Copies of this chain bind each other. A is one copy, B any other.
Amino acid sequence: MIKKLKKLGLKLTPQRLAILNLLEGNTKHPSAEEIYKQLKPQYPSLSLATVYNTLEVLARAGELQEIRINADKRHFDPNPAPHTHFLCRICESVHDLDAGPIEIQAPYNINGYLVEEFTLYFYGICPGCLERERSKNQ
């Protein structure tokens, strides 16, 4: 990971390492604000702008991916490989969701449109909220 940053010609700053470290293996798909709030106690000088800058740089370098499943805010996934996501409309959590093989392979041409990438997002209710609803309605 450190090697990757260097390879990209990026400076190794404590802020970047902290953000990378927080995201490593993280399956919660946090927003920039959430990342900021979680790191702030440990890095009191941390600025929200730095979080945005770092996420932007890392996303452009292909080290993570931005998830635009929520109209209100972006979420971030340390796994840059294309895969599908699910947004719960009750608790607003974002989950990985394997919907089986998806045959779309970008880039390709369709009706004269050059398709470079695509997003497939699922919306509904997550298992936790389904359970909670079930308990309530008893």
Measuring CB to CB, which residues of chain A are less than 8 angstroms from any residue of chain B?
68, 71, 74, 86, 89, 95, 97-99, 104, 106-107, 110-127, 130
Contacts and interface: CB of A to CB of B under 8 A. Distances in A.
B125 A113 contact: yes
Given A71-B68, A71-B74, A119-B119, A111 B124 contact: no
A121 B123 contact: no
A34 to B, nearest CB: 18
Among A113, A120, A130, the most chain B Cβ lie within 10 Å of the Cβ of: A113
B130 A112 contact: yes
B119 A120 contact: yes
Nearest to A123: B117
A24 B68 CA distance: 29
Given A99-B110, A116-B125, 15 more contacts: A71-B74, A86-B115, A106-B124, A110-B122, A111-B127, A113-B122, A113-B125, A114-B124, A114-B130, A115-B124, A116-B123, A118-B121, A118-B122, A119-B120, A120-B120
